[in-house]
């Protein structure tokens, strides 16, 4: 949509303990898990979901306790990386990338952990994306695609009749919104939280991407440079992206501004629907615009569950993950956070149930969406570099070619070190 996005508490354990997944000393195994936050406020933090789920699991599985530390998407991947480097890997992590840990032989395979029924239920494309050298280590947990969201009231105020279908129309509409006094005509969140997602959406709509058809990094391709030249010159340089520099604007801050009625347009994923509705924002959705019409592909995001070997507990991790992927739990999470499910059974149920009709446009985009190159062990490093630097490409005086070339060099170096 991908990016896939968290209580300091449980992982800040003392050095005297045996490790993140240490036994409690009373015959009870305590699994430590780090997970990303899909909520937009403390009131609906994913911590509450995991607290409820683990309580149900522990009732059915005496002898296994699960402690979940939920972190924001802006820090969760780095937090897990720090724990691993310190020799304190969690038993389970639900984060944005798995391949580098799999390449280091730190992860159990899906075969090690999951029942055959659970494995078979994953959507095939997502299962394949979770493979390294044809072995699945990354278990998809949540997926989403992206659509263009627009504020209908602000559009009417600016005299705009419908969603733009091309970049030219998008820039023209953003100009009308600015002239009508809209704070953020087009919100462009290239801050650290989810810069890789916003970046890939624009690269795809410009005919490029992070890689070519055979998986070679192409960040500094001609198409990608043209895309960011256009963003710098036609949107940011024209003052159409609002008062916060794109490189400083995080995705959740942009969503919050949309929900306050301050944003005319932005690229969004399903969770924005409920957030906007809660604030009585009347919005519309449309496919992402491309250079000369609808973009040929949109971003698809899958976030990943993985089990670390460091503390053992293969059997206990497997029991818990089988529980996590039970149909009712997958649907409950998808419904609570407006996320697309990763299993065939839950996807079919959602497509057939009228209560989920608001997600159908996103479901329809999923087959033609493109995911991050998550099967590359270098992707975590490349993603971190994009988060750090891509905003500079559209800043005043920024040089997209230079920034993308630097990112390309980092990507090639990271891949050669695999």
The angle, 0 to 180 degrees and rounded to 10, between the axes of the packed helices 327-337 and 46-60 is 160
Residue 3 lies in a domain: no
Same domain, 276 and 153: yes
| Statement to judge: residues 291 and 321 lie in one domain | no
- Which residue segment(s) compose the domain that 224 sits in? 147-298+378-416
Question: Which CATH number belongs to the domain containing residue 403 in this structure?
Answer: 3.40.190.10
Q: Element (H or E) spanning 346, and its range?
A: helix 344-352
What mean pLDDT is reported for the chain? 89
User: Do 224 and 341 sit in the same domain of this protein?
Assistant: no
Shared domain check, 389 and 320: no
- Residues 293 and 305 both lie in one domain: no
pLDDT in tens, 156-182: 999 999 999 999 999 999 999 999 999
With a CB cutoff of 8 Å and minimum separation 6, the contacts of 283 are: 149, 150, 151, 152, 258, 273, 276
Answer yes or no: do 161 and 190 share one domain: yes
The verdict on 182 and 241 lying in the same domain is yes
- Residue 22 belongs to a domain: yes
- Residue 184 belongs to some domain of the structure: yes
Determine, yes or no, domain membership for 373: no
Angle, helices 251-259/271-278, rounded to nearest 10 degrees: 40
Examine residue 283 and state whether it is found in any structural domain, yes or no.
yes
270-277 contact pairs (CB < 8 A, 24+): 270/1, 270/144, 270/337, 270/338, 270/339, 270/340, 270/359, 270/362, 271/38, 271/40, 271/144, 271/337, 271/338, 271/339, 272/149, 272/338, 273/338, 273/358, 274/338, 275/40, 276/149
Model confidence over 295-306: pLDDT tens digits? Answer: 888 888 889 999
User: Is residue 4 situated within a structural domain?
Assistant: no
Structure confidence at residue 126 (pLDDT):
86
Q: pTM of whole model > 0.85?
A: no
Angle, helix 46-60 to helix 314-324, in steps of 10 degrees: 120
161-198 CB burial, b ≥16 within 10 A, e <16: eebbbbbeebbebbbbbbebebbbbbbbbbbbbbbbbb
Do the domain assignments include residue 236? yes
| Alpha carbons 188 and 241: distance in angstroms, whole number | 6
308 and 411 share a domain? no
Q: Provide the residue-wise pLDDT of the chain in tens; the chain has 418 residues.
A: 333 333 333 323 223 333 444 444 457 899 999 999 988 788 889 999 999 999 999 999 999 999 999 999 889 999 999 999 999 999 999 998 898 899 999 999 999 999 999 999 998 888 888 998 889 999 999 888 899 999 999 999 999 999 999 999 999 999 999 999 999 999 999 998 889 999 999 999 999 999 998 889 999 999 999 999 999 999 999 999 999 999 999 999 999 999 999 999 999 988 899 899 999 999 999 999 999 888 888 888 889 999 999 999 999 999 999 999 999 999 999 888 888 888 988 888 888 888 888 888 888 777 678 888 888 888 888 999 999 999 999 999 999 999 999 999 999 999 887 6
Tokens of 70: 């939920």
Selection from 118, 176, 128 nearest residue 151 by Cα = 176
| 186 and 232 share one domain | yes
At residue 361, the pLDDT reads 84
Looking at the structure of the chain, the number of domains it has is 2
Question: What was the pLDDT predicted at 268?
Answer: 93
Same domain, 171 and 222: yes
| The pLDDT value given to residue 234 | 97
Q: How far apart are CA 92 and CA 312, in angstroms?
A: 11
Same domain, 138 and 274: no
Return the pLDDT at 12: 33
Domain-embedded: residue 187 = yes
| 277 and 387, same domain (yes or no) | yes
């Amino acid at each position: 949509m991908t990016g896939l996005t968290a209580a300091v508490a449980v992982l800040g354990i003392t050095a005297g303990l045996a490790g993140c997944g240490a036994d409690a000393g009373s015959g009870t195994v305590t699994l430590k898990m780090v997970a990303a936050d899909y909520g937009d406020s403390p009131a609906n933090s994913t911590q509450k979901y995991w607290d409820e789920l683990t309580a149900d699991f522990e009732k059915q599985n005496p002898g296994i306790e699960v402690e979940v530390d939920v972190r924001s998407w802006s820090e969760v991947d780095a937090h897990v990386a720090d724990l691993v480097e310190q020799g304190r890997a969690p038993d389970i992590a639900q984060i944005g990338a798995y391949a580098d840990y799999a390449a280091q032989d730190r992860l159990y395979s899906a075969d090690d952990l999951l029942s055959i029924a659970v494995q078979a239920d994953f959507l095939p494309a997502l299962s394949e994306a979770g493979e390294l050298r044809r072995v699945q280590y990354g278990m998809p947990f949540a997926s989403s695609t992206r659509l263009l969201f627009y504020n209908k009231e602000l559009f009417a105020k600016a005299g705009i009749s419908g969603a733009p279908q091309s970049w030219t129309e998008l820039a023209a509409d953003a100009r009308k919104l600015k002239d009508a006094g809209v704070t953020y005509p087009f919100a462009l969140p290239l801050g650290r939280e989810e810069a890789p997602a916003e970046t890939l959406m624009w690269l795809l709509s410009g005919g490029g991407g992070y890689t070519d058809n055979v998986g070679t990094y192409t960040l500094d391709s001609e198409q990608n440079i043209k895309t960011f030249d256009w963003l710098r010159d036609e949107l940011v340089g024209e003052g159409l992206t609002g008062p916060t520099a794109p490189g400083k604007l995080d995705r959740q801050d942009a969503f919050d501004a949309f929900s306050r009625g301050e944003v005319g347009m932005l690229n969004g994923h399903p969770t924005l629907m409920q957030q906007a509705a809660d604030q009585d924002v009347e919005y519309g959705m449309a496919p992402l615009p491309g250079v000369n019409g609808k973009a040929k592909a949109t971003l698809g995001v899958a976030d990943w569950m993985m089990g670390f070997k460091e503390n053992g507990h293969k059997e206990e991790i497997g029991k818990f993950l089988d529980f996590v992927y039970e149909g009712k739990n997958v649907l409950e999470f998808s419904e609570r956070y407006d996320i697309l499910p990763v299993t065939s059974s839950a996807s079919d149920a959602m497509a057939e149930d009228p209560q989920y009709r608001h997600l159908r446009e996103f479901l329809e985009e999923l087959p033609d969406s493109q995911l991050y190159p998550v099967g590359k062990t270098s992707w975590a490093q490349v993603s971190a570099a994009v988060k750090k630097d891509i905003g500079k490409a559209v800043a005043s005086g920024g040089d997209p070619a230079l920034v993308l070339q630097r990112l390309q060099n980092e990507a090639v170096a990271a891949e050669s070190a695999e």
